[in-house]
């Protein structure tokens, strides 16, 4: 039986296609960049798409926007794109929102329903609000930087916003995001220096194709960036590729859930920031033998949880520890695969009210069992020489000293300490 996704399935497999089919992606801005994002996600089998744009197709969109033809002029871009997606995949769910996203109507959107958010709009105000709302809800977001006034499609890069260069819009976004306490953001940007348009031709519908937030000329009019078919389209396809790859990895990671008699180990959710802050992060004694700093305020805790959610999406077995009885986050734990069949513990930390109850042993044994389930045959764990409780825990789980202790320096205060490494077969 023929399958329209057969060629994709050969690369992603049945499970991968099922994951994409369960995903819901919001795309803000259905222009030269966002239109190609929607196109590629629909053709990749993403099951649900929310399209957000207030513009109608205009004559000058035809040179670069996939939904722009002479027959679609005057129609809402989201409506044209929705119709196109249904023609590509009749089973897809498409929500078309004829509006421009701004802080004033942010309450009309529930970001927690999305698996991923794509920012392809052209104003800094809207971009910032989209990014902040996604981060607040713990939803992955990727943002398009400037794609106008450029001719080199090979100059696009994927990077964190704070690692970008050349792009004028990225420079502004770095400053504004830093001011708002956003520590990281995946973006697609170009390292091509923007060209100066030969002539100003008036305003246009430019969603997703900014060279920077359009700079006002001496007359006060905002200049229209030049554009071509082969630059914003490439940016959109790169964005879509990142979304697909992240969705496949994220769902696999977020599905991880380990249970013990009293505990659940699973991925962090933004809503748990208060519990983990009060139970663990604010306590000096919990950080003594770890490499993290104490969190001093609730605002700082919210930002830390944002970083934690992002980190755990990248690190497969980085998990928060929840007490079954209350559902509260009380600590964290994790492991990493060092090489085939070899795993190492990343650290176990519990709030002071939960120490001495046997939870550490439950956690370590759960990690060892999971490593064995994944084909592991050896498991390493490290402990500071002076951390007698953790050393006793490791030994009680069948570990023995591996090699000579190493002298290390604590990056927080420059204090020297001795790190012991232990190993056991599994």
Q: What pTM was estimated for this model as a whole?
A: 0.62
- Decide if pLDDT at 216 tops 60: no
- Residues with Cβ < 8 Å from 416, sequence gap 6 or more? 407, 408, 409, 410
- Evaluate whether residue 263 is within a structural domain: yes
Domain match, 128 and 13 both: yes
- Residues with Cβ < 8 Å from 28, sequence gap 6 or more? 34, 52, 53, 101, 117, 118, 119, 120, 121, 126, 130
Q: Which pLDDT score, from 0 to 100, does residue 217 have?
A: 31
- Evaluate whether residue 309 is within a structural domain: yes
CA triple 64-8-375, angle to 5 deg: 135
Q: Read off the DSSP letter of residue 355.
A: T
Q: What share of the chain is helix, strand, coil (3-state, %, to 5)?
A: 40, 20, 40
Last residue of a domain, one of 252, 279, 307: 252
What average pLDDT is seen over the chain? 91
State pLDDT tens for residues 248-287.
Answer: 976 566 668 999 999 999 988 777 899 999 999 999 999 9
Structural domains of the chain, count: 2
367 vs 236: CA distance, rounded Å = 40
CATH number at residue 268: 3.40.630.30
State pLDDT tens for residues 379-425.
Answer: 999 999 999 999 999 999 999 999 999 999 999 999 999 999 999 99
- Evaluate whether residue 1 is within a structural domain: no
% of the chain beyond a pLDDT of 70 = 92
- Residues with Cβ < 8 Å from 282, sequence gap 6 or more? 294, 295, 296, 301
The alpha carbon torsion through 167, 171, 172, 173 (nearest 10 deg) reads 90
Q: Cβ of 302: how many Cβ atoms within 10 Å?
A: 17
- Decide if pLDDT at 202 tops 60: no
3 state SS of 109: coil
- Evaluate whether residue 159 is within a structural domain: yes
Q: Which pLDDT score, from 0 to 100, does residue 251 have?
A: 59
Least confident of 47-56, 212-221, 232-241, 244-253: 212-221
Domain match, 246 and 286 both: no
405 vs 402: CA distance, rounded Å = 8
Domain hosting 119: range is 6-252
3 state SS of 243: helix
Domain match, 83 and 202 both: yes
- Decide if pLDDT at 239 tops 80: yes
70 vs 179: CA distance, rounded Å = 44
State pLDDT tens for residues 357-379.
Answer: 999 999 999 999 999 999 999 99
Top pLDDT among 208 and 83 is at 83
Q: Which of 167, 148, 162 is nearest to 210 (CA)?
A: 148
Least confident of 195-204, 213-222, 227-236: 213-222
131 with 177: CB under 8 angstroms?
yes
- Decide if pLDDT at 119 tops 90: yes
Domain match, 171 and 266 both: no
187 with 164: CB under 8 angstroms?
yes
Q: Which pLDDT score, from 0 to 100, does residue 215 have?
A: 35
Domain match, 113 and 169 both: yes
- Residues with Cβ < 8 Å from 278, sequence gap 6 or more? none
Domain match, 248 and 275 both: no
% of the chain beyond a pLDDT of 90 = 80
25 vs 74: CA distance, rounded Å = 26
Domain match, 198 and 304 both: no
State pLDDT tens for residues 142-197.
Answer: 999 999 999 999 999 999 999 999 999 999 999 999 999 998 999 999 999 999 98
Q: Determine the average pLDDT of the residues in 296-317.
A: 85
134 with 117: CB under 8 angstroms?
yes
Our separate counts of H helices and E strands in the chain read 11, 16
- Residues with Cβ < 8 Å from 68, sequence gap 6 or more? 57, 58, 61, 62
Q: Which pLDDT score, from 0 to 100, does residue 59 have?
A: 97
Domain match, 242 and 303 both: no
Can you tell me which residue has the tokens 């995001």? 177
Domain match, 261 and 236 both: no
Domain match, 178 and 275 both: no
CATH number at residue 107: 3.40.50.720
- Evaluate whether residue 11 is within a structural domain: yes
42 with 89: CB under 8 angstroms?
yes
- Evaluate whether residue 217 is within a structural domain: yes
Q: Which of 57, 52, 48, 47 is nearest to 34 (CA)?
A: 52
SS3 for 187-236, per residue? Answer: EEEECCCCCCCCCCCCCCCCCCCCCCCCCECCCCCECCCCCCCCCHHHHH
User: Which H or E run includes 318?
Assistant: strand 318-323
| Backbone Cα Rg of the chain | 25
Q: Determine the average pLDDT of the residues in 25-43.
A: 98
Last residue of a domain, one of 252, 283, 298: 252
Q: Read off the DSSP letter of residue 269.
A: -
122 vs 173: CA distance, rounded Å = 12
Domain match, 274 and 406 both: yes
Domain match, 39 and 154 both: yes
Last residue of a domain, one of 217, 237, 252: 252
Q: Which pLDDT score, from 0 to 100, does residue 219 have?
A: 29
């Amino acid at each position: 039986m023929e399958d329209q996704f057969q060629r994709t399935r050969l690369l992603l497999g049945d499970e991968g296609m099922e994951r994409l089919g369960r995903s819901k992606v919001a795309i803000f801005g259905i222009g030269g960049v966002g239109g190609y994002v929607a196109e590629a996600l629909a053709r990749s089998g993403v099951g649900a798409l929310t399209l957000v744009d207030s513009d109608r197709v205009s004559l000058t969109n035809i040179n670069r926007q996939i939904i722009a033809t002479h027959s679609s002029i005057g129609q809402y871009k989201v409506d044209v794109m929705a119709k196109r997606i249904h023609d590509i995949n009749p089973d897809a769910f498409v929500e078309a929102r004829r509006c421009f996203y701004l802080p004033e109507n942010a309450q009309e959107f529930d970001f927690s329903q999305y698996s991923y958010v794509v920012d392809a709009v052209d104003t800094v105000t809207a971009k910032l609000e989209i990014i902040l709302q996604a981060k607040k809800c713990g939803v992955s977001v990727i943002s398009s930087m400037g794609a106008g006034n450029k001719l080199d499609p090979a100059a696009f890069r994927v990077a964190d916003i704070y690692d970008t260069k050349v792009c004028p819009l990225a420079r502004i976004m770095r400053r504004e995001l830093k001011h708002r306490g956003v520590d990281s953001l995946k973006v697609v940007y170009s390292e091509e220096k923007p060209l100066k348009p030969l002539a100003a031709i008036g305003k246009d519908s430019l969603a997703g194709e900014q060279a920077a937030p359009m700079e006002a000329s001496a007359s006060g009019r905002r200049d229209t960036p030049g554009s071509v078919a082969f630059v914003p389209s490439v940016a959109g396809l790169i964005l879509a590729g990142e979304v697909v790859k992240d969705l496949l990895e994220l769902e696999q990671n977020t599905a991880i859930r380990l249970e013990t008699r009293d505990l659940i180990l699973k991925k962090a959710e933004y809503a748990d920031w208060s519990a983990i802050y009060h139970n663990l992060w604010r306590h000096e004694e919990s950080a003594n033998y770890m490499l993290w700093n104490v969190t001093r305020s609730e605002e700082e805790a919210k930002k830390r949880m944002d970083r934690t959610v992002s980190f755990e999406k990248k690190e497969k077995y980085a998990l928060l520890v929840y007490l079954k009885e209350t559902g509260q986050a009380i600590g964290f734990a994790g492991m990493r695969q060092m090489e085939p069949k070899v795993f190492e513990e990343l650290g176990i930390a519990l709030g002071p009210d939960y120490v001495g109850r046997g939870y550490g042993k439950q956690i370590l044994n759960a990690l060892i069992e999971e490593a064995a389930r994944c084909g592991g045959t050896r498991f390493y764990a490290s402990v500071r020489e002076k951390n007698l409780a953790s050393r006793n825990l490791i030994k009680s789980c069948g570990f023995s000293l591996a090699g000579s202790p190493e002298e290390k320096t604590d990056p927080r205060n420059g204090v020297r300490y001795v790190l012991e490494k232990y190993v056991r077969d599994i």
